[in-house]
Amino acid sequence: MTPFTTRARLAALAMLTTGMMTVQVSGHHGTAASYDNSMKVTVTGKVTEFWWRNPHSALFIDVTDDKGALVNWSVEMSSPGVLTRAGWNRKMFVAGDAVSIVVNPSRAGTPAGVCLNPCTVTANGKGVSAREA
Amino acid sequence: MKKGMSMRDSAIQVAAAVALAAALEASAASAQTADLSGVWLVDNSVGGPAGKMTQWTRQDPAFTPEGLAKFNANKPGKGPRQAPPAFGNDPLGDANPPGLLRTLVYFRPIDIIQSPDRIVQLFEYAHFWRTIWTDGRPVPDDPGPYWYGYSVGKWEGDTLVVQTVGLDARAWLDEWGTPFSEEAKITERWRRMNANTIQMTITVDDPRTFAKPWTSDPRTLRLQPKGSPNGEVLEVIFAPMDEKEFNDRVRNPAGGRVN
């Protein structure tokens, strides 16, 4: 599969939102280089894993594509230190949660995105702040 | 006579009181200025944009041919030369230590603990520490190499002047892949400006890497009160097993690299 068709599939997979304000993306090593911070994509699906670990936390989401196949997205997030200071914790998401998250997608067109603090996620119909312990 | 004695006594008392007050004031000033204790965070809003080579200064230092070759060989994931880390060679990408200079330029809290013979800095970034010896020992001839160097400090008024040598040159000087050699001699100046502010600079003397010594732009650190979000250092360890899984499942796929 060429990168272009991969990208086209991903565009179909995820609802593309345009005209949104871009935010400064900065990570501790190379986040901005891997992701397109001029672009925003909403990823909607079911959580398969949530990593609360360094160097960056990550949320994995099963997304159903237009042909009904499941594609697992990775969403890179800030480190636990940064997220702890933002009021998050390791129990923020569990497998099976229905989530919707706006990410800057991978420049390579793979099913990957980044959402660094401040990151807004809707989980089971509520903002993540509702799940803070 | 009695009255005269009384006046003289009063004069002595006043003089003693003035001297005592001056001594107390000097002591308080000294205690405040020659003290770096507390949790500090670099204020990234101060200093403006950096140059094109290193985060430490807006005036790009001149490399030697050897320094330029190393600079070009380093492929960072951040800064003006950033590339997707999936195709870079940042030593941190495999959970190696960032080392002293890269830690000092990064935006994470530093807990400074001061005792009469040493100052210990606890770095949240990658969960390391270093000791600055203030017991009058000389700078050793050829120590290390150490990822965090060997540091000897002395107070010059309100400024702690630190000589750091023996740095392991596999580390980078900053997040942007700026190199240095094991011959690098670093002079750090940590000046307590007031109760809430430290200003620090580094001077890099490394004739193998740079054509001449250069001094960084001043960096401002702000005291982080207890109970504030950055008021204590957290555990930020880059565990190799976590880093490998992150590379395999997040960083490399995001960069388009097939594992």
Interface of B with A in 170-229 (CB under 8 A): 175, 229
For the stretch A69-100, pLDDT in tens is 999 999 999 999 999 998 899 999 999 999 99
Residue A118: cis peptide before it, omega within 30 degrees of 0: yes
ipTM confidence score: 0.79
**Residue environment code for A94-113, b if the CB has 16+ CB neighbours within 10 A, otherwise e:** eeebebebbbbbbbbbbbbb
pLDDT for residue B200 is more than 80: yes
3 state DSSP class of B188: strand
For the stretch B206-219, pLDDT in tens is 999 999 999 999 99
> Looking at residue B49, what is its pLDDT?
62
Closest Cβ–Cβ partner in B85, B237, B251 for A54: B237
**Domain limits, chain B:** 1-32, 33-254
Kindly state whether B237 is in contact with chain A, defined as any CB-CB distance less than 8 angstroms: yes
- Token pair 């200093």 in the structure block, residue: B47
What CA–CA distances, in Å, run from B176 to B8, B46, B106, B179, B185? 70, 19, 11, 9, 20
Task: Indicate the pTM of the whole model.
Answer: 0.83
Closest residue, chain B, to A105 (C-alpha): B254
For the stretch B142-180, pLDDT in tens is 999 999 999 999 999 999 999 999 999 999 999 999 999
3 state DSSP class of A3: helix
Q: Residues of chain A whose pLDDT is less than 70? A: 1-30, 129-133
Kindly state whether A32 is in contact with chain B, defined as any CB-CB distance less than 8 angstroms: yes
CATH 2.40.128.20 is right for the domain spanning B33-254: yes
Per CB-CB distance under 8 Å, the chain A contacts of B229 are 85
